[in-house]
């Protein structure tokens, strides 16, 4: 099942996809164009922790002239970075290079602590698409991204749906694709991750507790390009969905 959170007639609703429409929690069927989309996470299972992988695809590491890491390169993101499907992401005035990152996002379904690799998928509640924008101008070190690179309001669109884990038969064999203004600029497959999902859940839960609603953003393949004001960016993952986002340049500070 595909779950969403949307605003309709001034109220926030949980919704599910039904034959190309949205079935709201009050029983009404509405069109995709009739709502404002929110990140598809339930208020009772907020993303208290957002863990994001860097260089988790070997081809992306090569693209940036690095070797694939021997241990996960991870940074923590704030919940304020998240925005929804069909929303705007702000590009700071004057920056030279801001790029998308199409990523499979794993949503933790139940409390996970010291999980064994063989049991890891039992703790996944579902999957969604993340677009984890990065601003290379602000990068101090490829291995140690600072706060301004990734932790900006609206810099991580998420959605459109949270797809139940049972409806994604093999999360380690999903095609990823990004288009900018209709042109394909990135393609890859989750099978090319350096560290796969069972490894990551075992690794994180070995030293920290993962809670329902927590997110793991699993990295992006190569093929990132600069995105400018007005660009329409679609990050799409097989069986999970197509997340639409538009770049909006901020006005210079007076």
pLDDT higher than 60, residue 72 = yes
Confidence of residue 41 (pLDDT cuts 50, 70, 90): confident
Asked if residue 166 and residue 79 are part of one domain, the reply reads yes
Asked if residue 22 and residue 141 are part of one domain, the reply reads no
pLDDT tens string 27-37: 999 999 999 99
Asked if residue 103 and residue 33 are part of one domain, the reply reads no
Asked if residue 100 and residue 209 are part of one domain, the reply reads yes
Total tally of structural domains belonging to the chain = 2
Asked if residue 138 and residue 227 are part of one domain, the reply reads yes
Confidence of residue 44 (pLDDT cuts 50, 70, 90): very low
pLDDT higher than 90, residue 46 = no
pLDDT, position 63 = 66
- Give percent of the chain with pLDDT exceeding 70: 91
pLDDT higher than 60, residue 61 = no
pLDDT tens string 152-207: 899 999 999 999 999 999 999 999 999 999 999 999 999 999 999 999 999 999 99
Asked if residue 234 and residue 167 are part of one domain, the reply reads yes
Asked if residue 138 and residue 188 are part of one domain, the reply reads yes
Asked if residue 114 and residue 7 are part of one domain, the reply reads no
Do residues 196 and 172 make contact, with C-beta atoms less than 8 angstroms apart?
yes
Mean pLDDT of 92-109: 95
* Average pLDDT across the chain, whole number: 91
Q: What are the residues facing 159 on neighbouring strands? A: 129
CATH code assigned at 186 = 3.90.850.10
CATH code assigned at 22 = 2.30.30.370
Asked if residue 56 and residue 106 are part of one domain, the reply reads yes
Per the domain annotation, does 98 fall within a domain? yes
Asked if residue 87 and residue 23 are part of one domain, the reply reads no
pLDDT higher than 90, residue 59 = no
pLDDT higher than 80, residue 64 = no
pLDDT, position 58 = 75
Asked if residue 89 and residue 75 are part of one domain, the reply reads yes
Give the domain range for residue 8. 1-38
Chain centroid, CA 241 distance in Å: 11
Mean pLDDT of 247-252: 88
Asked if residue 72 and residue 11 are part of one domain, the reply reads no
- Give percent of the chain with pLDDT exceeding 90: 77
pLDDT, position 150 = 82
């Amino acid at each position: 099942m595909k779950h969403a959170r949307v605003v309709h007639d001034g109220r926030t609703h949980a919704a599910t996809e039904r034959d190309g429409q949205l079935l709201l929690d009050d029983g009404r069927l509405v069109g995709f164009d009739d709502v404002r989309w929110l990140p598809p996470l339930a208020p009772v299972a907020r993303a208290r922790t957002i863990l994001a992988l860097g260089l988790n695809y070997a081809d992306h590491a090569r693209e940036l002239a690095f070797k694939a890491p021997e241990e996960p390169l991870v940074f923590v993101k704030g919940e304020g970075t998240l925005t929804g499907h069909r929303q705007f992401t702000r590009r700071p005035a004057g920056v030279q290079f801001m790029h998308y990152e199409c990523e499979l996002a794993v949503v933790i379904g139940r409390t996970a602590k010291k999980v064994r690799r063989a049991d890891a998928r039992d703790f996944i509640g579902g999957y969604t698409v993340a677009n984890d924008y990065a601003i290379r101008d602000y990068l101090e070190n490829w291995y140690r991204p600072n706060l301004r690179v990734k932790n900006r309001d609206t810099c991580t669109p998420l959605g459109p749906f949270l797809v139940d884990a049972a409806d994604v038969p093999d999360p380690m064999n999903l095609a990823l694709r990004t288009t900018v203004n209709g042109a394909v600029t990135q393609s890859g497959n989750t099978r090319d991750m350096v560290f796969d999902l069972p490894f990551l859940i075992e690794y994180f839960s070995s030293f920290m507790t993962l809670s329902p609603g927590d997110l793991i953003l699993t990295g992006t393949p190569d093929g990132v390009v600069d995105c400018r004001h007005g660009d329409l960016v679609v990050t799409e993952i097989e069986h999970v969905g197509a997340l639409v986002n538009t770049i909006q340049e901020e006005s210079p500070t007076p």
